[in-house]
């Protein structure tokens, strides 16, 4: 018997049963049968599906695109419906709140059933919501909660003055081990010349606020400048390492130990130099990007002018490098030493131009001054990094 021999109503009923349409008396039974079948033949079903997709790639892609398009449209419809509901609620908020209060007052039994059903379906969610609500209440009335806790503790001490002494004797070995660990830690810190351990105690609500602020700080996206600043903080030498290096140097040279003020000053100067060495390559790159063509054209025009006056022309590569060094230094000076302090100007000059003066064929890069490659001697690319 062919499919056409069945009446249309019978075929429609069969299709509804296969789809599990609500309202069909056999819908639930069909859904259970299908779920049971797929659970028992899952591997075979997946293998057949993969084989069909391999044999019909175009049709599989078309069906996939149709499925994604329908899902996208469904999501858009749901979001549009939710947005309309939110907009309507914003306009009728007081009305809806009053309706909800009236419903709760008129139907307490239904409200209790709804709440009980929600607790049964979502026990973990209810527990988490209760915990957060309790924390919010304690944070809101923190002083009152702590005052009540102090009163309860005072009443317990009055009712049983020896409660702490009894706990100590009942856990004597544990308390003695804790005291020995604390004494050992304090002696170790003293031997290393480190300060004693300091514990800053905070209340629970303050701790939660601090944790939330820390999460916000460490999860935010950093700008390029902030990342550079964090790298500088990480790479800054600690006082202890600098003190050891200074002590070894003075011991080898037979010099007396340095004063604390000298160490602090040397640390500040060294940190400033590290900052300069990190930002100077960016300053040089930015300056060359903005001014290299201008200075190159000035050198070319000045060389032509010298020829007109009967003087020998410039070596364009050497003169371009010399002028760039001078103007880069002035630009860095304006950015890094805006107050014009003479001592800091001298240290910046020593950082950019070491004691062994660079040759005219050297340029500054992140690792210091380097020689220009022989192939890069043309005036247009002589100072390219």
Distance, in Å, from the CA atom of 78 to the CA atom of 72, rounded to the nearest integer, reads 10
In degrees, to the nearest 5, what angle opens at C-alpha 291 toward C-alphas 286 and 293?
125
Give Cα separations from 28 to 33, 34, 38, 39, 45 (angstroms). 9, 10, 16, 17, 22
Q: Flag whether pLDDT at 121 surpasses 80.
A: yes
Answer whether residue 31 is part of any domain. yes
Q: Flag whether pLDDT at 324 surpasses 80.
A: yes
Distant-in-sequence, close-in-space partners of 243: CB < 8 Å, separation ≥ 6: 263
Q: Flag whether pLDDT at 45 surpasses 80.
A: yes
pLDDT level of residue 262 (50, 70, 90 thresholds): low
DSSP state letter for 198: -
pLDDT level of residue 125 (50, 70, 90 thresholds): very high
Which of the listed residues 73, 102, 131 is the one where a domain comes to its end?
Answer: 102
Question: Measuring CA to CA, which residue among 383, 337, 345, 385 is closest to residue 365?
Answer: 385
Which of the listed residues 79, 102, 125 is the one where a domain comes to its end?
Answer: 102
Q: Decide: residue 36, CB within 10 A, 0-12 exposed, 13-18 middle, 19+ buried.
A: exposed
Q: What is the mean pLDDT of residues 121-125?
A: 92
Percent of the chain predicted with pLDDT > 70: 78
Answer whether residue 32 is part of any domain. yes
Answer whether residue 248 is part of any domain. no
Which of the listed residues 54, 83, 102 is the one where a domain comes to its end?
Answer: 102
Answer whether residue 199 is part of any domain. no
Nearest-10 Cα torsion for 223, 225, 228, 234: -80
The tokens describing 322, both together, are 């010399």
Distant-in-sequence, close-in-space partners of 222: CB < 8 Å, separation ≥ 6: 230
Residue appearing with tokens 């007052």: 105
Question: Which phi and psi (to 5°) does residue 116 adopt?
Answer: -65, -40
pLDDT level of residue 220 (50, 70, 90 thresholds): confident
Percent of the chain predicted with pLDDT > 90: 25
Distance, in Å, from the CA atom of 383 to the CA atom of 285, rounded to the nearest integer, reads 10
pTM: 0.36
Question: Measuring CA to CA, which residue among 285, 275, 267, 289 is closest to residue 228?
Answer: 275
Residue 300: helix, strand or coil by DSSP?
Answer: helix
Task: State how many domains the chain has.
Answer: 2
pLDDT at 377: 36
pLDDT level of residue 180 (50, 70, 90 thresholds): very high
pLDDT (tens digit per residue) in 154-174: 998 899 888 888 889 999 999
Higher pLDDT, 4 or 328: 328
Task: Domain of residue 356: give its range.
Answer: 271-376
pLDDT at 369: 46
pLDDT at 361: 42
Strands 368-371 and 362-365: antiparallel
Answer whether residue 203 is part of any domain. no
Answer whether residue 136 is part of any domain. no
Distant-in-sequence, close-in-space partners of 139: CB < 8 Å, separation ≥ 6: 205, 208
Q: What is the mean pLDDT of residues 83-108?
A: 92
pLDDT at 17: 56
pLDDT at 263: 56
Q: Flag whether pLDDT at 71 surpasses 90.
A: yes
Helices (H), the chain: 8-19, 27-40, 42-55, 57-91, 93-106, 108-121, 123-140, 142-159, 163-170, 172-191, 204-219, 224-235, 239-253, 260-308, 316-336, 342-352
pLDDT at 98: 93
Distance, in Å, from the CA atom of 349 to the CA atom of 195, rounded to the nearest integer, reads 39
pLDDT (tens digit per residue) in 139-157: 888 888 889 999 999 998 8
Comparing 44-48, 103-107, 377-381, the range with the smallest average pLDDT is: 377-381
Answer whether residue 56 is part of any domain. yes
Answer whether residue 260 is part of any domain. no
Distance, in Å, from the CA atom of 319 to the CA atom of 99, rounded to the nearest integer, reads 85
Distance, in Å, from the CA atom of 306 to the CA atom of 204, rounded to the nearest integer, reads 79
Q: Flag whether pLDDT at 78 surpasses 90.
A: yes
Distance, in Å, from the CA atom of 253 to the CA atom of 274, rounded to the nearest integer, reads 26
Distant-in-sequence, close-in-space partners of 104: CB < 8 Å, separation ≥ 6: 111
pLDDT (tens digit per residue) in 329-380: 888 888 888 887 888 888 888 888 776 544 444 444 444 444 444 433 333 3
């Amino acid at each position: 018997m062919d499919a056409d021999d069945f009446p249309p109503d019978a075929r429609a009923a069969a299709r509804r049963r296969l789809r599990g349409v609500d309202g069909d008396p056999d819908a639930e039974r069909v859904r259970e049968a299908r779920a049971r079948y797929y659970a028992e033949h899952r591997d075979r079903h997946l293998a057949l599906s993969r084989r069909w997709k391999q044999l019909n790639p175009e049709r599989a892609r078309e069906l996939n695109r149709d499925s994604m398009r329908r899902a996208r449209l469904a999501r858009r419809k749901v979001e549009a419906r939710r947005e309309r509901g939110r907009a309507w609620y914003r306009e009728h908020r007081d009305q809806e709140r009053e309706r909800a209060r009236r419903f709760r007052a008129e139907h307490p039994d239904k409200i209790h059933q709804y709440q009980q059903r929600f607790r049964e379906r979502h026990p973990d969610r209810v527990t988490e919501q209760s915990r957060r609500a309790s924390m919010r209440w304690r944070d809101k009335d923190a002083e009152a909660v702590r005052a009540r806790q102090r009163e309860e503790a005072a009443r317990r001490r009055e009712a049983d003055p020896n409660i702490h002494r009894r706990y100590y004797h009942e856990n004597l070995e544990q308390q003695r081990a804790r005291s020995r660990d604390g004494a050992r830690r304090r002696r170790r810190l003293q031997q290393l010349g480190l300060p004693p351990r300091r514990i800053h105690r905070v209340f629970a609500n303050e701790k939660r606020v601090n944790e939330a602020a820390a999460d916000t700080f460490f999860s935010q996206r950093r700008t390029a400048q902030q990342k550079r600043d964090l790298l500088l903080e990480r790479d800054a030498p600690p006082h202890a390492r600098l003190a050891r290096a200074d002590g070894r140097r003075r011991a080898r040279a037979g010099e007396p130990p340095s004063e604390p003020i000298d160490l602090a000053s040397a640390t500040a100067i060294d940190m400033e130099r590290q900052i300069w060495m990190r930002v100077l390559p960016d300053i040089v790159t930015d300056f060359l990007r903005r001014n290299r063509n201008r200075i190159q054209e000035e050198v070319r025009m000045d060389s032509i002018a010298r020829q007109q006056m009967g003087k020998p022309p410039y070596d364009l590569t050497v003169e371009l490098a010399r002028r760039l060094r001078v103007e880069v230094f002035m630009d860095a000076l304006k950015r890094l030493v805006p107050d014009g302090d003479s001592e800091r100007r001298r240290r910046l000059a020593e950082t950019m131009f070491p004691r062994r003066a660079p040759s005219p064929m050297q340029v500054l890069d992140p690792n210091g001054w380097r020689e220009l490659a022989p192939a890069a001697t043309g005036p247009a690319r002589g100072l390219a990094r």
